[in-house]
Amino acid sequence: MSAADDKKAKRRKIKKSLVAKNLPRSSTCQNGTEASNLSNSPSETILSPAIDSETLRRLEKLMDASDDADSLELLSLSRGPNPYLDKERCLLCGCERQDPPEAAAYKIENSDCEKRAVETNLLTQVCTITEKQGWERRWASLENNILLLFVYESDASPIDTFDLGPPNTDVTVHSAISTAELPNTTNTDLAHVMKLEQQPLTTCWPGRVLYLMASNFSDKQKWVACLEAAVKSIQRKDTIVRTGMFSKTLLELEGSRRLELNCSFALCKELVLLGADEGLFCVNLYHGTHAIITQLTGFKCVHQIVYISSLNLIILITGRERSVVTIDKRMIHSRIDQANSAAKEETNPIPHTVIEGIVGCTVMDASKCHGGSYMVVGMADRVLLMKYNSEMKSFCLRKEFMTNEPCSCVCLSHEFAIVGTDKFYRLSLDHPNITGMLIN
């Protein structure tokens, strides 16, 4: 008997004993005699009603499968199409990775090689920043928004491709390359280098960079113009909304309406304050470019506008002397409503409060922070730290710091302010003191 047959016989003995143990114990017969010994009965008499002979045969076949794999016929189940086997997917959002077009998909007939060479007339040199920086000569051709790279002029199939319009990706053509990007390239060669960059709109997949070096500067200019035109035509048809800064013209000031604007502030959804050399103005955005600008009288020149929501105060740097004044926001709304109802271009004088002791203010910032409303005022030779007094309803001086240079910028945070003069300083609000920062 072989070792496999010996294992099968042992498994059958174990299986029969397990089946016998799982059966309910035999009860006494009606005449008081006990049932016969199960171990001496044939296997057919000890089977549970739930296990018939056919099921037992299948169990034996499965138990012997590890020793005799050829005797077990495995079922061929159709798995169906599995999209995860076709393309790589992101583990976070499940989006598919867009592979670059295969070079084998682009076949060029030999008869078209001469025509292509005449059209491009450019022998490019290519390197990638991820590989060892060394230039390799390649023939390049742009067809159907795909940049094809060939080893030889007569090649029918490209060795590499670069898609100028992949989905969910921004493509940028860089005509100027710095020495830090390609340190092993001389400055004379850098003048002939351009860069193609793919930047995915999501963070799921990495981008791609391709450097091209033209044989001369004239060829580089032709290639840059051609590539930029192809990218713009693709993005013009793209319906994807890209993140970034978008501009929209809200107001055009021409002719007699022209103002020398210095600052602006969105008073509400439809009203915007404009600070100009001619004074303080308000425009309604719903009227578009033909809106009637309303002048808020009482201010000769406005250089900066800051709003503190906790106090409902608008703070201005105004006048030739550059003083600081505060205005109640509700008063501005009231004056604007009165002027609009009377169809006037100017409002009545707006009441305001001048903060004493401030002349020649260059820049300021105000905000609610550290349990109170603070204002930092920058001047030509000093920086003032002021805190709002609710009983006096005014800003009071808390600390004054002398500086060597005029203050050029101020930024308030939750616990301190950053002040820029000859260098950046950190101004603490809780225990007022000023310390220099390492940023020069």
3 state SS of 57: helix
Task: Give the tokens for residue 324.
Answer: 């600081």
Q: What is the structure's pLDDT at 427?
A: 92
What is the pLDDT confidence band of residue 160, given thresholds at 50, 70 and 90?
confident
| Through-space distance between the first and last CA atoms of the chain, rounded to whole angstroms | 91
Tell me, what's the pLDDT at 84? Answer: 43
Instruction: Give the lowest-confidence range in 79-83, 365-369, 429-433.
Output: 79-83
Residue 268 has pLDDT above 70, yes or no: yes
**What's the pLDDT score for residue 122?**
44
CA 59, 62, 68, 71 torsion-angle sign: positive
Cα 365-367-373 angle, rounded to 5 deg = 120
**CA geometry: angle at 177 spanning 176 and 182, to 5°?**
165
Q: What is the mean pLDDT of the chain?
A: 75
Residue 126 confidence (pLDDT): 53
Domains of the chain by start residue, with CATH: 1-15+37-68 (no CATH), 103-236 (2.30.29.30), 259-436 (2.130.10.10)
Taking only Cα atoms into account, the Rg of the chain, rounded to an integer number of angstroms, comes to 41
The predicted structure's pLDDT at residue 32:
42
Q: Taking phi first (over 0 means left), then psi (-120 to 50 degrees means alpha), and beta for anything else, what does residue 46 get? A: alpha
pLDDT in tens, 165-206: 888 788 899 988 888 888 888 888 888 888 999 888 777 778
pLDDT of residue 365: 95
- Dump pLDDT digits (tens) for 390-421: 899 899 999 999 998 999 999 998 889 999 99
pLDDT digits (tens, 9 = 90+) for 293-342: 889 999 989 999 999 988 999 999 999 999 999 999 999 999 988 988 88
